[in-house]
A and B are shown apart, each in its own frame.
Chain A
Amino acid sequence: MMWVDVRLFGYIVKYSPAGKETFRLELDPEATIDELLAKIHFPPEVERVVLANGRQANSFTRLAEGDEVFIFVPADGG
């Protein structure tokens, strides 16, 4: 098993297991982003952007121990 640090930004914080914006999550080694999302019951239809260590990640991006995952929904702004 491995641990990753997850941060949910904006209203999607409701999918956080601990109800907090930042949390640690235990996953199988080399788990993908999709596996992470499934574990926190994040609805697949919700539009989102995922960064792993600051780099854009897709459904199949594999994670490693200690990775920082940042999930947000596209929003207007400037």
Chain B
Amino acid sequence: MNMYGWRGRVLRVDLTRSECKEENLDPQVAKDYIGGRGLGIYYLNKEANPRCDPLSPENMMIMAAGPLTGTSAPTAARYMVMTKGPLTGAVTCSNSGGHFPRELKRAGFDALIFTGRASQPVYLWIDKGRAELRPAGHLWGKNVPETTDALLGETDAKARVACIGPAGEKLVLFAAIMNDKYRAAGRSGVGAVMGSKNLKAVVVLGEGAVPLADKERFNEIQDRVLTKFKNAAKAAPSALSQHGTIGVMTPLTQKHGIFPTQNFLLGTFTGWEAISGQTLTQKYLQKTVACWACPVACGRFTKVEEPGFEGEGEGPEYETGFALGALCMVDNLAAITKANYLCNDLGLDTMTMGATIACAMELFDLGYITEKETGGPIKWGDARKLVELVKLTGYREGFGNELAEGSYRLGERYGHPELAMVSKRLELPGYDPRGLQGTGLNYATSPIGGSHCRAHMAYCEMVGIPKLIDPHEWKGKARIVKVWQDVFSIIDSAGLCIFFAARNLLRPELEILPDGILEYLNAATGANYTLDELVKAGERTLNAERMFLVRAGFNRKDDSLPHRLTHEPLLDGPAQGKVVHLEEMLEEYYRERGWSPEGIPTQSKLEELGLT
């Protein structure tokens, strides 16, 4: 059966048996789960053991694109890596853009499902629909750019590569999967899962365009959306294009007093201007970089020449600047950028890397760890130490072997897990939730743990998209978080980027509705979604992910934030004196979701969503 938007085919790769097998995508499953993130959780719930050891052959890993991925819809460049994460034990939603996801669709696949473990290092080569596993022993130990270049040399220069670096091979618990050299499916340790399977890389070459159900209609929508976007950009040039995420967010979080500093001890950083996007533009920016079909181009290609920090590549983005910068009290942008390059080369999540070093700095400051363990002082703000620790972590050498376990396990080992700024063991993003209550609730209830991308509440609590609400009010936030989480899962599942979709493809009301995405999806797939069906599909994904967590042993106590954020009032800045009112918001949230007071979806909710 011909499908549009979706390619209608899924590739199963049994690494233990060294077999690749194609199967059809069930059109009803495609419609109910949309694709990408939704499709990932569908297969995980159907076939994976939620209680498995994430680094054992029993774990499944899914790379899935959405029905819009690879079309010309703005920012339709995203794919999702879904598995059981080794850092968290929870489901992952590691999302990345660039060009690899489009190529996967052009090669004719909606998803790749990896099971088992190869006996020797291998890579998957997909050449216009034909798939084979090839030996990768000669690539083992190589970093991301070396691996990428070698693979393009031995396959096809026009192919696209997603691979792991040394960190994934060494099972660093927050190793990333890097595609197109610089883009990261960064969070929760998906790169370690790939390493545990002896899978070094996936290389894809496709051809042609993704078939559309109603090309004329698609082009009409496209003209309207892009014209509107371009006119708006003419009147008000996009700050995101000009200075990147690090330029948009750093001044805003600093001025709101929610720029997490010194491992969340403070909400403002004296060195903020030195590490902002404006400084990056002046000192290091070479050119801006766009993913496939993106009119924004928030990517930064940079070059640093300061001695000791020399290098070039993409980054840093806001989250990287916050984690490797303010959180560690480092105000040296050259060092932060260098640490970012190393994370990219070694295949590490910059956010967990920075947060784990910040945790180590606090442990050292308080005397809970000493030079005996660390091999030298680890002091707040030490820029050279920051760079050295990233390198040690990527190879699991010296104290880096302990940092490689992430902040929770590091704190726990030395008797102070409360110094790990995590939710579900995933390190928190760069918005102190004591100054943004809804953001706190979203961190605590996000299925993957501490992530802002599952519902970017800072948009309405700080930035003014679609409108500003009181960031310090906690009453009524549960409803908004629930609605936003459901709609953000639709963005993820369709294959779009939240940066564009949140502003341009959602109804500009606080209770956002995905009108723009609906139009694109129907023109691309011909699936005739109603708005209700689409919203329901988003809610279905959230509940399916929750059921994975429940079966993995998670419950209400895991919907938590660090004690520091719920009990220790913020010490400085405009949000001084605030804590997160999590327990109160959680009660409301479970009610809004139709979950039990323990946070478990009720039978009637599951029936309503067809999840029984």
Residues of A within 8 A of B (CB): 9-12, 46-47, 49, 51, 53-56, 70, 72-78
Closest B residue to A49 by CB, please name it: B464
- Are A51 and B464 within 8 A (Cβ)? no
- Are A78 and B453 within 8 A (Cβ)? yes
Residues of B within 8 A of A (CB): 236-240, 242, 245, 248-249, 251-252, 255-257, 296, 298, 318-319, 452-453, 456, 458, 463-465, 468, 470-471, 498-500, 502-503, 573-575
In whole angstroms, what is the CA distance A56 to B249 when docked? 16
- Are A49 and B248 within 8 A (Cβ)? no
- Are B236 and A54 within 8 A (Cβ)? no
- Are B573 and A49 within 8 A (Cβ)? no
Contacts of A56 in B (CB 8 A): 468, 470-471
Given contacts A72-B252, A76-B238, contact A54 B573 (CB under 8 A): yes
Query: Could you name 30 residue pairs across A and B whose Cβ atoms are closer than 8 Å?
Result: A9-B251, A10-B239, A11-B236, A12-B236, A47-B464, A49-B463, A49-B464, A51-B574, A53-B574, A54-B255, A54-B573, A54-B574, A54-B575, A55-B574, A56-B471, A72-B239, A75-B238, A75-B463, A76-B248, A76-B296, A76-B465, A76-B499, A76-B500, A77-B248, A77-B298, A78-B318, A78-B319, A78-B452, A78-B453, A78-B498
Given contacts A51-B255, A77-B318, contact A10 B298 (CB under 8 A): no
Contacts of A47 in B (CB 8 A): 236, 464
- Are A76 and B503 within 8 A (Cβ)? yes
Q: How far is the CB of A22 from chain B (nearest CB, A)?
A: 10
Closest B residue to A77 by CB, please name it: B248
Besides the known contacts A11-B239, A47-B236, A77-B240, 11 further A-B residue pairs in the complex with CB atoms under 8 A apart: A9-B239, A11-B236, A11-B242, A49-B463, A49-B464, A55-B574, A70-B251, A75-B463, A76-B240, A77-B463, A78-B458
Q: How far is the CB of A34 from chain B (nearest CB, A)?
A: 16
Closest B residue to A56 by CB, please name it: B468
Q: How far is the CB of B366 from chain A (nearest CB, A)?
A: 29
In whole angstroms, what is the CA distance A54 to B259 when docked? 12
In whole angstroms, what is the CA distance A9 to B254 when docked? 13
- Are A77 and B237 within 8 A (Cβ)? no
Contacts of A53 in B (CB 8 A): 574
For B252, B465, B573, the residue with the greatest tally of chain A CB atoms inside 10 Å of its CB is B252
Closest A residue to B256 by CB, please name it: A54
Contacts of B463 in A (CB 8 A): 49, 74-75, 77
Q: How far is the CB of B291 from chain A (nearest CB, A)?
A: 14
- Are B251 and A75 within 8 A (Cβ)? no
- Are B499 and A77 within 8 A (Cβ)? yes
In whole angstroms, what is the CA distance A73 to B236 when docked? 9
In whole angstroms, what is the CA distance A76 to B452 when docked? 14
- Are A51 and B256 within 8 A (Cβ)? yes
Q: How far is the CB of A64 from chain B (nearest CB, A)?
A: 15
Q: How far is the CB of B461 from chain A (nearest CB, A)?
A: 10
In whole angstroms, what is the CA distance A78 to B239 when docked? 12
Closest A residue to B575 by CB, please name it: A54
In whole angstroms, what is the CA distance A77 to B470 when docked? 20
Closest B residue to A51 by CB, please name it: B255
In whole angstroms, what is the CA distance A55 to B464 when docked? 13
In whole angstroms, what is the CA distance A55 to B473 when docked? 13
Closest A residue to B251 by CB, please name it: A9
Contacts of B452 in A (CB 8 A): 78
Q: How far is the CB of A20 from chain B (nearest CB, A)?
A: 13
Q: List 8 tightest A-B contacts by C-beta distance, closest first.
A: A54-B574, A77-B248, A74-B464, A75-B239, A10-B239, A49-B464, A76-B499, A11-B237
Q: How far is the CB of B216 from chain A (nearest CB, A)?
A: 29
Partner of A78, one of B242, B245, B574: B245
In whole angstroms, what is the CA distance A72 to B465 when docked? 13
For A12, A49, A75, A78, the residue with the greatest tally of chain B CB atoms inside 10 Å of its CB is A78
Closest A residue to B298 by CB, please name it: A77
- Are B470 and A75 within 8 A (Cβ)? no
Closest B residue to A45 by CB, please name it: B235
Q: How far is the CB of A23 from chain B (nearest CB, A)?
A: 16
Contacts of A11 in B (CB 8 A): 236-237, 239, 242
Closest A residue to B499 by CB, please name it: A76
In whole angstroms, what is the CA distance A33 to B468 when docked? 17
Given contacts A53-B574, A54-B574, A54-B575, contact A75 B240 (CB under 8 A): yes
In whole angstroms, what is the CA distance A23 to B465 when docked? 27
In whole angstroms, what is the CA distance A46 to B465 when docked? 14
Closest B residue to A46 by CB, please name it: B236
Contacts of B468 in A (CB 8 A): 49, 56
Partner of B499, one of A9, A51, A54, A78: A78
In whole angstroms, what is the CA distance A7 to B605 when docked? 49
Closest A residue to B471 by CB, please name it: A56
Contacts of B471 in A (CB 8 A): 56
Partner of A73, one of B239, B319, B500: B239
Contacts of B257 in A (CB 8 A): 54
Contacts of A74 in B (CB 8 A): 463-465
In whole angstroms, what is the CA distance A70 to B483 when docked? 30
In whole angstroms, what is the CA distance A70 to B319 when docked? 22
Q: How far is the CB of A25 from chain B (nearest CB, A)?
A: 17
In whole angstroms, what is the CA distance A60 to B453 when docked? 34
Q: How far is the CB of B521 from chain A (nearest CB, A)?
A: 21
Contacts of B242 in A (CB 8 A): 10-11
In whole angstroms, what is the CA distance A49 to B251 when docked? 13
Given contacts A49-B463, A56-B470, A73-B236, contact A78 B249 (CB under 8 A): yes
In whole angstroms, what is the CA distance A49 to B256 when docked? 12
In whole angstroms, what is the CA distance A9 to B463 when docked? 12
For A51, A55, A74, the residue with the greatest tally of chain B CB atoms inside 10 Å of its CB is A74
In whole angstroms, what is the CA distance A76 to B502 when docked? 8
In whole angstroms, what is the CA distance A10 to B199 when docked? 44
In whole angstroms, what is the CA distance A74 to B456 when docked? 14
Q: How far is the CB of A33 from chain B (nearest CB, A)?
A: 14
- Are B251 and A72 within 8 A (Cβ)? yes
In whole angstroms, what is the CA distance A47 to B245 when docked? 20
- Are B574 and A75 within 8 A (Cβ)? no
In whole angstroms, what is the CA distance A3 to B478 when docked? 41
Contacts of B502 in A (CB 8 A): 76
